[in-house]
Chains A and B, each alone.
Chain A
Amino acid sequence: MTGRWTWFNITSVVVGFTFLYLPIVLLVIFSFNESRLVTVWAGFSTKWYGELFQNQSILDAAWVTIRVALLSASVATVLGTLAAVALVRFPRFNGRTVFTGMVYAPLVMPEVITGLSLLLLFVAINFARGFWTVTLAHITFSLCFVAVVVQSRLVSFDKSLEEAAQDLGCPPFQAFMKVTLPVIFPAVISGWMLAFTLSLDDLVIASFTSGPGATTLPMKIYSQVRLGVTPEINAVCTILIAIVTTGVLIATILNKRRAMQHKHS
């Protein structure tokens, strides 16, 4: 579409983004609230951040969450990329319909169903619930998101690049590793980041599949929220938001700089 904006367009975009960001902004502001309340401003204070860092259980939960996220994102990226390759490069194989169904279904499956079913699996095979069960669960549903992201990039990838590599003497597997993979790498990385976020963010599946000693941050936050809302929660949330935003900003700046360098050389 061409870039011509009408008043209606501008208004809808502004209203839309205000709606999206307002709660987050309020959350951040109230993390600096002097009083215990999250709705009445009583003055600026960073004491909740101090309290947060004293709170061992929250820190433990954060540590578990990060480890689960890093591990599950990485494994999910490998599996998801394989699944994407299978979907794009092999148009006919036995059981392809079932496979396609299994890859797309988790994208929309209600989490309570996924969580319950995975827990029952772990119980059935007598697998103790804890760090590993949560990780396995997260890998399972994240890999489907990675697959969709990588698949859409792979579909638009110019196959003649891989053919050229083969023509020049590269066996097919090497041609994929040396040419295709480097070119679609940004999509693979997006997939990783998506899987990381999904894991970091997940409450329902973690609640079903986790066990003692492996409480994740969302689980911790949820339990606190049920008891009553304190600004310590706001502080945790603000820190998470800050980390994510910084990460995204850094990535964007790096990308822009690389594009600039390219233009000038």
Chain B
Amino acid sequence: MLRAITNRLVILIPYLWLLFFFLLPFLIVLRIALSDLEYGAPPYTPQFSLADGWSALWEKAGQLDFENFSFLASDSLYINSYLSSLQIAFFSTIMTLIVGFPLAYGMARAPSGIRPTLLMMVILPFWTSFLIRVYAWIGILKQEGLLNQLLLWLGVIDTPLEILSTNKAVYIGIVYSYLPFMVLPIYSTLEKMDESLVEAARDLGCTRIGAFWKVTARLAVPGILAGCLLVFIPAVGEFVIPDLLGGSSTLMIGKTLWIEFFNNSDWTVASAIAIVLLIVLVVPIVWFQNAQARAAEAGR
């Protein structure tokens, strides 16, 4: 009896927590997105309270309208922000993959004594502040920054490059900050790979490159997929990097949401932005969840 109760609790406690603090808030966001803007605190028409009862709830439901959503659709700023975010996130993910895969591959092929150290070195920056690391790039990328100083000194360029406050800086920032997220899953997949598979392929007539494409790359796909999703999805909604490194022309939806919320105090539009962003990301998120669940099952 006690055993059954303990078992129930093990599931219930985290379940209820997540239900209340993760799922419920999304419903509230949806609710707000369908409300009208009002001045005051909080700046939207008041929430229903449980005391009102079900009838009041249905009444309020009738007051909901999709005004905020149609507003988003009408103003090109928002549509462009979504598209721009998707584009930036997509290309950043590819660049991160290009930088991250050789690094992960090199680590997986390292003498096994060094591997833990290399792994530690990839994780260490992750333990220092994200904000700090992005901030460090400001000093490097700005007009009078270290990169320009170096390039001018080498004579590679005549006038300083304008990188900071453009999209280019955002790309660099995303690749830099998310690199560990790409390297770790790929590394862990490659590390488990059985080298004799590649040898068998070459024994059967494959060239080095051929064996790499047909065997190694194929087997690394789960890791690559996990890495790409771990970079792409949060990058779409990224705020700090476009805010610090991007310019006023850098349109990213995370920044747009922030501005709507903190600068314009328009909670309703901000909520609508969040809901649409969620819908946009639903497919990759579910893809990620399935990949995770499958990987967990395979590990059994």
Contacts and interface: CB of A to CB of B under 8 A. Distances in A.
A and B touch in the complex (CB under 8 A): yes
Contact of A225 (B135, B144, B277, B292): B135
Interface in A200-236: 200-201, 203-204, 207-208, 218, 221-222, 225, 229, 233
B209 to A, nearest CB: 12
Contact of B21 (A111, A140, A148, A240): A140
Interface stretch (A48-56, A97-105, A180-188): A97-105
B69 interface: no
Interface stretch (B23-31, B58-66, B71-79, B151-159): B23-31
Given A201-B129, A203-B240, A248-B124, A116 B135 contact: no
Given A5-B109, A221-B131, A248-B124, A12 B102 contact: yes
A140 B140 CA distance: 35
Contact of B135 (A16, A87, A140, A221): A221
A113 B21 CA distance: 13
Given A116-B29, A117-B274, A221-B135, A82 B105 contact: no
Interface centre among A120, A172, A193, by most B CB within 10 Å? Answer: A120
B106 A229 contact: no
B11 interface: yes
B140 A26 contact: yes
A35 interface: no
Interface in B115-160: 115, 118, 120-122, 124-133, 135-140, 142, 144-146, 149
Interface in A94-152: 95, 98-113, 116-118, 120-121, 123-124, 136-137, 139-140, 143, 147-148, 151-152
B182 to A, nearest CB: 11
Contact of B137 (A9, A23, A106): A23
A45 interface: no
B102 A140 contact: no
Contacts of B37: none
A1 interface: yes
A171 B191 CA distance: 38
B271 A156 contact: no
A244 B128 contact: yes
A264 interface: no
B195 A27 contact: no
Interface string A222-265: 10010001000100010011001100100010000000000000
Query: What is the interface residue range for chain B against chain A?
Result: 35 or more
A116 to B, nearest CB: 5
Nearest to B236: A110
B210 interface: no
Given A110-B236, A140-B21, A248 B127 contact: yes
B97 interface: no
B161 interface: no
Contact of A171 (B3, B15, B240, B257): B3
A31 B84 CA distance: 36
A95 B238 CA distance: 31
Main secondary structure of the interface of B (DSSP, over half): helix
Interface string A15-30: 1110111111011001
A90 B109 contact: no
Interface string B1-44: 01100110011011101110111111011001000000000100
B135 A237 contact: yes
A3 B109 contact: yes
A258 B166 CA distance: 50
Contact of B238 (A80, A110, A116, A200): A110
A140 B21 CA distance: 7
Given A9-B105, A218-B131, A245 B124 contact: yes
Contact of A233 (B29, B135, B144, B180): B135
B106 A16 contact: yes
A49 to B, nearest CB: 16
Contacts of A156: 299
12 contacts: A1-B109, A5-B106, A13-B106, A21-B121, A95-B15, A100-B289, A117-B25, A143-B14, A172-B3, A173-B6, A221-B129, A244-B127
Interface of B: 2-3, 6-7, 10-11, 13-15, 17-19, 21-26, 28-29, 32, 42, 47, 99-100, 102-103, 105-115, 118, 120-122, 124-133, 135-140, 142, 144-146, 149, 176, 179-180, 183, 190-191, 193, 195, 229-230, 233-234, 236-240, 244, 254, 257-258, 261-262, 267, 270-271, 274, 277-278, 281, 284-286, 288-289, 292-293, 296, 299-300
- Lowest 7 CB-CB distances: which A-B pairs, in order? A110-B237, A16-B103, A117-B25, A12-B102, A23-B136, A3-B111, A83-B14
